[in-house]
Amino acid sequence: MLLVSGILFCGSVWTYVATQTGITWNLSPVGKITPKEWKEE
């Protein structure tokens, strides 16, 4: 019972913290970021 509650508590807290709090994890842009023109004409 402690195991299940531990999994749920830990999982939910960290999922929230990792995704919703605005913390930057600085993941690799490869495959995620679409490059945008940087040169100012």
**Residue 38 binds to another protein (criterion: CB under 8 A):** yes
Size of interface with another protein, in residues (CB under 8 A): 28
Cα angle vertex 32, ends 30, 37, to 5°? 80
**Residue 13 binds to another protein (criterion: CB under 8 A):** yes
Q: Can you say how many angstroms the Cα of residue 34 is from the centroid of all Cα atoms in its chain?
A: 18
**Residue 19 binds to another protein (criterion: CB under 8 A):** no
Cα–Cα dist 7/38, whole Å:
45
Positions that interact with another protein (CB under 8 A)? 1-7, 9-10, 12-14, 16-17, 21-24, 26, 29-31, 33-38
